[in-house]
Amino acid sequence: MADPNVHRSSTFAPVNIAVIKYWGKRDTALNLPTNSSLSVTLSQDDLRTHTTASCSPKFTKDELVLNDEDQDISGARTQACLRELRGLRKEVEAKDGSVPKLSGMALKIVSENNFPTAAGLASSAAGFAALVRAIADLYTLPSSPAELSRIARQGSGSACRSLFGGYVAWKMGTEKDGSDSAAYEVAPASHWPDMRALILVASAEKKDVSSTVGMQATVKTSELFNHRAEHIVPARMTAMEECIKDRDFATFADLTMKDSNNFHATCLDTSPPVFYMNDTSRAAVRVCEAINTRAGKAICAYTFDAGPNAVVYYIAENEGQVAGILKSILGGKMGWNSLQGRAVQAAEMPKGME
Ligand code: ADP
Ligand code: DP6
Ligand code: CO
């Protein structure tokens, strides 16, 4: 029988894959970026994190178990999320003396990703979005998605975008305290409902340079990076918002592929260089370029996060020309697994989670 002293809440959170990449922090303590970014939230029917948060007077210390392994949560970023959420719970407890004092109890968080963790498929985004929302639900916080997004950002920058559905921008902001650095919905998924994303798994292995470590090295050592953050990304953010508004796929694809390549160029310009893409990734790039050449216009857009795995965006009517050809050519190269070749839809947040 369930222990009445244990309070528990479970939630799911989706992955988001950026088409204009976040790479670089201007403030590592608050996790504030050096440039704005823009992403598409993918359906959590396919890729998702499932997280359960519980607390009890019997628990002795905060714990996080991820994919059945104990995690070290002493890091400042996870601690910041827990501290902020407990602070909000204290406000609830101060207002209503009859609610249980959950803020004083240790937390046990158990999480599972149903896709490769730390392999460049945005596990930290879905992971911290789920962690924050599971605890907020456990604490019955009245917080808005915007407020939870601000907290999740401190766990992992990209997580701030996974609290929203559809097409999501994260405006870098200029304030020192990060008060204007926030994610918001540019357009709901229903605005461009035939957008699809194909997930191609080149390797499910944990990367050897985490996103956090990689971007810090880039900020420190790459000159190309300064040009990207100051000139390239600001112009692309405006252009990307425009083409999403116009449902102009050819421009969307051009910007997406260029931005992925520009981001990976800054990784190569880092000392020592950071290699996230591998031979299989480059084979996927070549096939996409060939598909676009044959079609006479861009009908598919590859993008790679900090890892070797490709996400290919396309419009549903081009399913055969894009997904069909990618599968037939790359099928042998990319170790098949349950996610490969799945057309993942862009999605809204499920009801009750907005
Ligand atoms: P990715 O490309 O998958 O986002 P990162 O290097 O950004 O890779 O982050 C990976 C780290 O994110 C993991 O090592 C872990 O610390 C954290 N993480 C991943 N999934 C979860 C989760 N479900 N809950 C909490 N933390 C997670
Ligand atoms: C390449 O959000 O994982 O996926 O804030 O250090 O946790 P931390 O980094 P993270 O970086 C994501 C980098 C990216 C691009 C993106 O998602 O915008
Ligand atoms: Co990440």
ipTM confidence: 0.99
260: part of which helix (H) or strand (E)? helix 249-268
Please tell me the distance from the alpha carbon of residue 42 to that of residue 32, in angstroms, as a whole number: 24
With contact defined as beta carbons under 8 Å apart, do 4 and 23 qualify?
no
Rounded distance from Cα 129 to ligand 3 centre (Å)? 11
| pLDDT over 80 at 158, yes or no | yes
What is the pTM assigned to this prediction?
0.96
Tokens 């998924």, residue? Answer: 189
Rounded distance from Cα 122 to ligand 3 centre (Å)? 5
Pairing outcome for strands 32-33 and 25-27: antiparallel
Give the number of whichever ligand sits closest to the CA of residue 18. Answer: 2
**Ligand 2 and 131: CB distance under 6 A:** no
Tens-place pLDDT, residues 12-67: 999 999 999 999 999 999 999 999 999 999 998 889 999 999 999 999 999 999 99
**CB-based pocket (< 6 A), ligand 1:** 49, 66, 111, 113, 117-125, 127, 130-131, 156, 210-211, 305-307
The number of the ligand 1 atom at minimal distance from the alpha carbon of 71 is 16
Tens-place pLDDT, residues 238-278: 999 999 999 999 999 999 999 999 999 999 999 999 999 99
By C-alpha distance, which of 163, 108, 162 is closest to 135?
Answer: 108
| pLDDT over 80 at 343, yes or no | no
In the chain, beta strands by DSSP E: 7-14, 16-20, 25-27, 32-33, 37-41, 48-56, 63-66, 69-71, 106-113, 167-171, 182-187, 195-200, 300-304, 310-315, 343-345
Which residue's alpha carbon is nearest to atom 17 within ligand 1? 124
Q: What are phi and psi of 344, to 5 degrees?
A: -95, 130
With contact defined as beta carbons under 8 Å apart, do 274 and 182 qualify?
no
**Ligand 2 and 23: CB distance under 6 A:** yes
- Span between the terminal Cα atoms of the chain, in Å: 32
With contact defined as beta carbons under 8 Å apart, do 109 and 53 qualify?
yes
